[in-house]
Structure 1
Amino acid sequence: MSQGDERGYGDNEPRGHTDDAYSTIGGTRQTRTRLPGGADDGDGYGRRPARSSRSLIMVVGVVVLLIAAIAFANQGGGGTPGTGSEKKPDAAGAGSTAATGTEPVQGKNGTIASGFAHDEQGAQSAAANYAVALGSAEMFDKTKRDGILNAVIAPASIDKFRTTLDEAYSTDFFRNLGLNDDGTAPAGFTFISRTVPIGTKTTESSTDQATVEVWCSGLIGLAGEGSTKPVTDGWFTITMELEWLDGDWKAITHSQKDGPAPVGGDNRASSADEIAGAVNGFGGFTYAR
């Protein structure tokens, strides 16, 4: 686990990574707790009684009704994507992250979603997508990093972000992560840096500005036989201030704090090959709803 001061962009600008490999942009911190195991209760599964034909008919009936309800809901999903004309979700509670029926954005700015709705939901979706991009392995490549910043950061803030990040993604930082001096993975290894939003909420909102918190899990490390920097997970919350500019939401500040972190499970740690295969085989999501 990595301990230290809070990383992020305090004072409205990003900070470096040289002393903490597990920061939000290009990395995640870990917080892990394990509770004592309980008594063994066997396989934990009792034998299920055989289903009667009546029970089977009821189950089939429920499935048919569910399919019909989904089809009906899809037929009624009017509205134009990205217009923001639909009803806003409630600002508080789990419902703020639940599906609302608003159609997802259709646009792309490179590989990053764009054209978010000009409302609270659109700001949340933008923040979630931007958290994914800013925490990706692509940030370790100078050319790709510049492209990401151009896509998600407000023009007035890009130079400050770029200067700070160019200093942060240094040779020493790469070496601390087990990477080559140019930020690439050594031969035979796969570098993994992925941020996964769990939920979002808006803490402040006006017509053209919003502050959004994104609760995330993340992975970072080198997958490969004999890796001294194995892939680990972490939990953190990203806060972004967003501004509506030229028909889309753009980030003007970015900061991070640790947690909330759940109790660690008792899952068997997968092999390096399994982790590398999973990351290469499972693509990330576009968080637009």
Structure 2
Amino acid sequence: MSLGDEQEASGGYGGTGQTRTRLPDTGSDPYGTPRRPRSSSRSLVTVVGVVVLLIAAIAFANRDDDDPSSTGTNTNKPETAATAPSGKRPVQAKTGSTPSGFAHDQQGVESAAANYAVALGSADMFDKVKRDAVLRAIIAPSRVAGFEARLDKAYTPEFNKNIGLNEDGSAPDGFTFVSRTSPIGTKITEYSADSATVEVWCSGLLGLAGENSTTPVTNSWFTITMQLEWANGDWKIVTHSQEDGPTPVPGDDRASSADEMAKAVEEYGGFTYAR
């Protein structure tokens, strides 16, 4: 029924001669946006508009930064753009298990931030010896001691027990501990020759896979903000913070069994992320 059919022109509303208009009911939209019926012509215009915007977005994401028609860059606040592959090969070197030797440019610092997010979200962070090795690989030398002290206060034996681990951060017998971070995209908000601030949007997995686990593996979304500096021939973290989201609407996927999850973690390796 159209909106016009709902208008009661005769007699008005309450005998006042006014016209009462009944709006259509709001549908169940997870983002809270009211849905209104559209005519076929309006739908066609909308589809065409979306296609035009999509083509423009693809062209923008794939444009050559060296193209003279591109907007000039600001060394203090670079223009933001969706993360897109640069075509450059990822780094080959590693410090321990963490990629290292990133390029001394904007793409290099974004790659460093993405890979450092993976390291900070790994299961190694729950083991004191492994955690200190990770920090020495990714933190600016002048800040390592401070990071170690703060994280020692966070990753306590009590904390490990609260998430189902043994006090030393190992998984109990019969369980597989899962702690993984997957970068979705990166964004530089400040950049100069020797320092940068980068945001990394991530999805994470955390929990114990195993029968009767009281802390099953769950998914989360968060954004990590890092300030990095160029030190000793590589990008290193100076400060680090994290906040929740952006978070998509959950899908209707069936949750995997404990065995399936444990097997996936053991069989599927991680990646080295490059801008």
TM norm structure 1 = 0.68
Q: C-alpha displacement at 1:139, in angstroms?
A: 0.8
Matched, 1:127 2:113: yes
Matched, 1:182 2:174: no
Match of 2:18 in 1: none
Distance in 2 of aligned mates of 1:132 and 1:103: 18
Secondary structure (helix, strand or coil) at the match of 2:107 reads helix
Match of 2:213 in 1: 227
Moved more, 171-180 or 254-263: 171-180
Q: C-alpha displacement at 1:258, in angstroms?
A: 0.5
Secondary structure (helix, strand or coil) at the match of 1:194 reads strand
Matched, 1:136 2:122: yes
Structure 1: which 5+ residue stretches go unaligned? 1-33, 37-89
Distance in 1 of aligned mates of 2:237 and 2:223: 16
- For the 8 Å contact 1:113–1:288, the answer to whether it is kept is no
- For the 8 Å contact 2:85–2:274, the answer to whether it is kept is no
One-letter amino acid of the structure 2 residue matched with residue 116 of structure 1: F
Alignment of 1:5-24 (within 5 A): none
Matched, 1:148 2:134: yes
Structure 2: which 5+ residue stretches go unaligned? 1-28, 32-77
Structure ID, larger Rg: 2
Distance in 2 of aligned mates of 1:182 and 1:261: 32
- For the 8 Å contact 1:91–1:201, the answer to whether it is kept is no
- For the 8 Å contact 1:179–1:186, the answer to whether it is kept is yes
Matched, 1:93 2:81: yes
Regions of 4+ moved over 6 Å: none
Distance in 2 of aligned mates of 1:230 and 1:103: 36
**CA RMSD of the aligned region, Å?**
1.5
Distance in 1 of aligned mates of 2:100 and 2:106: 15
TM norm structure 2 = 0.71
Secondary structure (helix, strand or coil) at the match of 2:91 reads coil
Q: C-alpha displacement at 1:107, in angstroms?
A: 1.3
Secondary structure (helix, strand or coil) at the match of 1:285 reads coil
Matched, 1:216 2:223: no
Query: In the alignment, which of 263, 266, 282 is matched to residue 252 of structure 2?
Result: 266
Query: In the alignment, which of 154, 176, 187 is matched to residue 201 of structure 1?
Result: 187
Query: In the alignment, which of 242, 262, 275 is matched to residue 276 of structure 1?
Result: 262
One-letter amino acid of the structure 2 residue matched with residue 244 of structure 1: W
Distance in 2 of aligned mates of 1:136 and 1:284: 10
Match of 2:95 in 1: 109
Distance in 2 of aligned mates of 1:155 and 1:111: 18
Percent of aligned positions that are identical: 66
